[in-house]
Copies of this chain bind each other. A is one copy, B any other.
């Protein structure tokens, strides 16, 4: 315990928690009403909390998660460094706030994109989700990296805060496939996948989410989910190089074709 106080031990990932347990979302009811009949002190505290998150987001965007420093946030806030510990227990807790903030913003972006697409246009809805994720990732690369990039060593994000917001996108994707299946827009083999233990896991997921789609399609959906974020990550993290494509959006549209096709919505 004499080593570095927090940084050294930090080593788990933010998204161990945005695990596939989307079934119990009711747990997330932190952050009660913003300012309804509160004492002046409590109102001031809420305002300061909001300022901390806002300034933290700014630093995250400009310098990245690794360079996010509580001291710098305190400076911008006009406080001495120790004072911010009245509001945030540690640097990691600030990261958690930013993680939740990021997941919510991404979820809102996806939801907003879906309002423009006819519920019966399943490929269109899937493409809209993909485009929304990509657009948000490119607009907020640092937050995207925080959510979907390297695990922050030793950092154990609290599942009760991050699981709900963290699963909004995949829940939307599953909705699309479920809709399409129930509308008969997808044909897929309804037989069990092999091996048996994978089939059991997929069956459990179907049951917990109340899905009608066959397990083979659940597996394909998981692939499409990972592949979608793979494409976005490749672009946000610059894996294609800077001068390879005139407009990477063109390539992403091709990738969307492949994604739609791979779940049988081609």
Contacts and interface: CB of A to CB of B under 8 A. Distances in A.
Interface of A: 4, 7-8, 10-13, 15-21, 63-67, 141-142, 145-146, 148-154, 193, 195, 197-198, 200-201, 205, 219-220, 222-223, 225-231, 233-234, 237-247, 250-251, 254-255, 258, 261-262
Contact of A145 (B19, B151, B222): B151
User: How many copies of this chain are found per oligomer?
Assistant: 2
| Closest 7 pairs (CB-CB, A-B) | A230-B230, A19-B241, A149-B150, A64-B153, A227-B227, A198-B250, A145-B150
B245 A151 contact: no
A7 B66 contact: yes
Given A11-B63, A150-B237, A151-B64, A222 B251 contact: yes
A239 B227 CA distance: 13
A193 to B, nearest CB: 6
Contacts of A146: 150
Contacts of A241: 16-17, 19-21
B242 A234 contact: no
Contact of A197 (B4, B21, B233, B247): B247
Contacts of A238: 12-13, 15-16, 19, 151
B226 A255 contact: yes
B237 A195 contact: no
Nearest to A153: B64
Contact of A153 (B67, B219, B255): B67
Nearest to A163: B241
Contacts of A234: 225-226, 229-230
B18 A244 contact: no
Given A7-B66, A198-B247, 9 more contacts: A16-B242, A17-B241, A19-B244, A21-B241, A63-B154, A197-B246, A200-B246, A205-B244, A227-B227
Contacts of A18: 239
A230 B231 CA distance: 7
A179 B210 CA distance: 44
Contacts of A4: 67
